[in-house]
Amino acid sequence: MARDASHQYLIAPNPGDRRLTRSVKGVDETGKVADIPVVEERPLTIFLNGQEIVTAMTIGDYPEYLALGFLRNQRMLQPDETVTKVDYDDDLETVVVRTDGSTTYEEKLKKKTRTSGCAVGTVFGDMMEGLDELTLPEASVHTSWLYTLSATINRTPSIYLEAGAIHGTVLCRQDQPLVYMEDVGRHNAVDKIAGWMLSEKEDGGDKILYTTGRLTSEMVIKCALMGIPVLVSRSGFTAWGVDIARQVGMTLVGRMRGARFTCLSGEERLVRDAEPKHAQDKKPR
User: Which domains are seen in the chain, by residue range?
Assistant: 141-282 (3.40.140.10)
| pTM for the model | 0.88
Q: What is the C-alpha to C-alpha distance for residues 87 and 190, in angstroms, rounded to an integer?
A: 21
pLDDT tens by residue, 76-100: 998 888 999 999 999 999 999 999 9
Task: Write phi, then psi, for 111 (nearest 5 degrees).
Answer: -105, 45
Across 74-83, 116-125, 259-268, the highest mean pLDDT is recorded for 259-268
pLDDT tens by residue, 51-85: 999 999 999 999 999 999 999 999 899 888 899 99
**Contacts with 151 (C-beta within 8 Å, 6 or more apart), sequence order:** 279, 282, 283, 284
Nearest residue to 265 via CA among 283, 285, 247, 281: 247
Q: What is the C-alpha to C-alpha distance for residues 137 and 229, in angstroms, rounded to an integer?
A: 6
110 confidence band (pLDDT: 50, 70, 90): low
Over range 119-140, report the average pLDDT.
Answer: 70
Q: Which residues on neighbouring strands pair with residue 26, listed in sequence order?
A: 34
CB neighbour class for 233 (10 Å; exposed up to 12, middle 13-18, buried from 19): buried
Give the chain's mean pLDDT: 88
Q: Any idea how long the chain is?
A: 285
pLDDT tens by residue, 165-190: 899 999 999 999 999 999 999 899 99
